[in-house]
């Protein structure tokens, strides 16, 4: 387990910057008005990868689980070769390495990284490894929050912080601040849906983990055409606020309808509801980076994109945490429905998520299994209602957003080194 943790840590250090670097490169070389189709393409590729990844991983795990990790080597090598051959960016020269190091906010990152790790550890361990009232959760959460506050105080002091990692000026623009809040809420919505739709298919519909991945395809794939439509709309009209309204409205309707699903729901129902919810997420994710950067000068593109990526990732963690806390509490609330005391123990204290795809679940007597399914349906219903409430909150927040005209020209020194990319 320690080897797995170390390996995942190293993997995280490498992959954590991939999304944000792709966004930064695109935003540096493409004018704001025309960025949306390219950002939507990145979103679509990520959606396809996240869809086929679990299916391929599940198939490999049935043969030899080690191949789940080995497969990263040829894929990463191919990606690196393509980048080295094809990606040629023109950028202002840096005088020397000392000047480059001076641009890094070492103190700010030294405060920021441990603080976020403390908060994330508390959120991940709370309700699973330890009770939420345990000192194992409370202490890192408090320390992380104090560190987080100290980080922002430091970043706000021009006397001490010359090159802030997360400049306060980004949040002074109303449109940027609301857009960051929107992607935070959107990340909560999509993560909660990602994690608990498979539980519905496995525990309520009674399908295998592999088939639940297939049943989940409507949600995973619908985000692609909706993201493309959103990108085309921004490019054609230069407007993004209508997409935010439409995105949160579709998310609210879709997740709200998911709360009506039970064991007897038809395929048409859960497919259609997934498409609505996914469509909303596609519109939100395809347009919020555009609106975040709209009022900002070009020199803030990199730090603002990094901030956007962090807020998005932080929303992913909160989405899983909030949905899990609600799910586990509702499972415990409705355990009285299950007559078998041994089964109640298997479901209590945060074990219901793992129990959904266990062999024991499929071996339950029919009467007890019906009761357990009823418990899952009731718990999931509350999860979907809360997720829909977050979508409604996002819809309301959009009212505070102000439209800023998107520039059609690029005004920085970055670009493609055209002569060196003719053969690519």
Residue carrying structure tokens 């002074």? 172
pLDDT at residue 424 greater than cutoff 70:
no
Q: Are 242 and 351 in the same domain?
A: yes
- Residue 420's pLDDT band (boundaries 50, 70, 90)? very low
Residue carrying structure tokens 């029919």? 366
Which of residues 319 and 89 earns the better pLDDT score?
319
Among 94, 98, 103, 97, which Cα is nearest to 164's? 103
Q: Do the domain assignments include residue 303?
A: yes
pLDDT tens digits, 121-139: 887 777 667 777 888 889 9
Residue 177 makes CB contacts below 8 A (sequence gap 6+) with 170, 171
Give the per-residue pLDDT at 34.
79
pLDDT at residue 100 greater than cutoff 80:
no
Q: Do the domain assignments include residue 346?
A: yes
Which of residues 180 and 42 earns the better pLDDT score?
180
Q: Do the domain assignments include residue 342?
A: yes
pLDDT tens digits, 328-387: 889 989 999 989 888 898 888 888 888 887 777 878 888 999 999 999 999 999 999 999
Which of residues 311 and 45 earns the better pLDDT score?
311
pLDDT at residue 283 greater than cutoff 50:
yes
Number of domains making up the chain: 2
Q: Do the domain assignments include residue 398?
A: yes
**Bridge partners of 90?**
415
Q: Are 218 and 290 in the same domain?
A: yes
pTM of the model as a whole:
0.84
Q: Are 118 and 240 in the same domain?
A: no
Give the per-residue pLDDT at 399.
96
pLDDT at residue 419 greater than cutoff 60:
no
**Mean pLDDT throughout 273-284?**
95
Q: Do the domain assignments include residue 415?
A: no
Q: Are 316 and 263 in the same domain?
A: yes
**Mean pLDDT throughout 274-289?**
93
Q: Which helix (H) or strand (E) holds 252?
A: helix 241-258
| Percentage of the chain modeled with pLDDT above 90 | 35
Q: Are 204 and 312 in the same domain?
A: yes
Q: Are 145 and 240 in the same domain?
A: no
pLDDT at residue 413 greater than cutoff 70:
no
Q: Do the domain assignments include residue 100?
A: no
Q: Do the domain assignments include residue 15?
A: no
423 φψ region: left (φ > 0), alpha (ψ -120 to 50), beta (else): alpha
Q: Do the domain assignments include residue 101?
A: no
Integer Rg of the chain from CA: 23
Give the per-residue pLDDT at 412.
56
CA distances from 332 to 326, 327, 349, 383 (A): 10, 9, 7, 14
Q: Lowest mean pLDDT of 66-75, 224-233, 253-262, name the range.
A: 66-75
Which burial class, exposed, middle or buried, applies to 283 when counting CB atoms under 10 A from its CB (0-12, 13-18, 19+)?
Answer: buried
**Mean pLDDT throughout 281-305?**
88
pLDDT at residue 421 greater than cutoff 80:
no
**Distance separating alpha carbons of residues 216 and 234, to the nearest angstrom:** 28
pLDDT tens digits, 59-78: 776 677 777 788 888 888 99
- Residue 422's pLDDT band (boundaries 50, 70, 90)? very low
Q: Alpha carbon 192 to chain centroid distance?
A: 9
Phi/psi for 415 (5° steps) reads 175, -175
Which domain covers residue 144, as residue numbers? 106-164
**Mean pLDDT throughout 189-206?**
92
Residue 350 makes CB contacts below 8 A (sequence gap 6+) with 127, 128, 324, 328
Give the per-residue pLDDT at 414.
57
- Residue 292's pLDDT band (boundaries 50, 70, 90)? very high
Q: Are 340 and 381 in the same domain?
A: yes
Average pLDDT of the residues of the chain: 85
Which of residues 18 and 396 earns the better pLDDT score?
396
Among 203, 217, 223, which Cα is nearest to 358's? 203
Among 164, 188, 209, residue at a domain's last position: 164
Measured on CA atoms in the order 99, 105, 107, 110, is the torsion positive or negative? Answer: negative
pLDDT at residue 410 greater than cutoff 80:
no
Give the per-residue pLDDT at 279.
94
Q: Are 134 and 181 in the same domain?
A: no
Residue carrying structure tokens 């709200």? 256
Q: Are 278 and 199 in the same domain?
A: yes
Among 228, 247, 240, which Cα is nearest to 294's? 240
Give the per-residue pLDDT at 317.
84
The CATH number linked to 387 is 1.20.1250.20
Q: Are 37 and 126 in the same domain?
A: no
Q: Are 56 and 180 in the same domain?
A: yes
**Distance separating alpha carbons of residues 197 and 213, to the nearest angstrom:** 9
Q: Are 315 and 250 in the same domain?
A: yes
């Amino acid at each position: 387990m320690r080897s797995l943790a170390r390996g995942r840590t190293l993997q995280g250090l490498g992959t954590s910057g991939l999304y944000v670097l792709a966004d930064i490169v695109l935003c540096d070389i493409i004018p704001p008005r025309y960025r949306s189709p390219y950002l939507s393409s990145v979103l679509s590729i990520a959606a396809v990868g996240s869809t086929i990844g679990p299916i391929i991983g599940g198939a490999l795990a049935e043969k030899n689980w080690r191949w789940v990790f080995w497969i990263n080597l040829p894929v990463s090598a191919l990606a690196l070769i393509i980048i080295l051959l094809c990606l040629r960016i023109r950028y202002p020269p840096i005088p020397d390495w000392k000047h480059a190091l001076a641009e890094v906010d070492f103190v700010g990152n030294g405060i920021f990284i441990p603080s976020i790790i403390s908060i994330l550890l508390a959120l991940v361990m709370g309700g699973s490894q330890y009770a939420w009232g345990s000192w194992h959760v409370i202490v890192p959460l408090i320390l992380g929050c104090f560190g987080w506050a100290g980080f922002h105080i430091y970043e706000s002091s021009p006397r001490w912080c010359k090159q802030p990692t997360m400049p306060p000026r980004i949040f002074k623009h109303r449109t940027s601040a609301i857009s960051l809040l929107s992607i935070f809420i959107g990340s909560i919505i999509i993560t909660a849906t990602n994690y608990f739709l498979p539980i519905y298919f496995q525990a309520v519909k009674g399908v295998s983990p592999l088939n639940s991945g297939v049943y989940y395809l409507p949600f995973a794939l619908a985000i692609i055409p909706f993201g493309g439509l959103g990108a085309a709309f921004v490019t054609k009209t230069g407007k993004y606020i209508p997409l935010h309204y439409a995105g949160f409205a579709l998310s609210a309707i879709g997740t709200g309808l998911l709360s009506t699903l039970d064991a007897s729901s038809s395929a048409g129902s859960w497919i259609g509801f997934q498409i609505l919810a996914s469509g909303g997420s596609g519109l939100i994710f395809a347009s919020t980076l555009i609106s975040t950067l709209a009022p900002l000068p070009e020199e803030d593109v990199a730090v603002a994109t990094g901030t956007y990526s962090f807020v998005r990732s932080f929303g992913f963690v909160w989405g899983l945490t909030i949905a899990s806390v609600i799910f586990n509490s509702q499972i415990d609330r409705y355990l009285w429905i299950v007559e078998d005391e041994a089964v109640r123990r298997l479901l209590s204290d945060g074990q219901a998520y793992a129990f959904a795809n266990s062999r024991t679940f499929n071996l339950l007597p029919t009467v007890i299994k019906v009761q357990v399914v009823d418990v899952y349906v009731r718990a999931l219903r509350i999860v979907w209602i809360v997720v829909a409430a977050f979508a409604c909150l996002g819809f309301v927040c959009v009212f505070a957003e102000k439209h800023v005209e998107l520039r059609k020209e690029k005004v920085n020194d970055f670009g493609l080194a055209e002569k060196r990319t003719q053969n690519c």
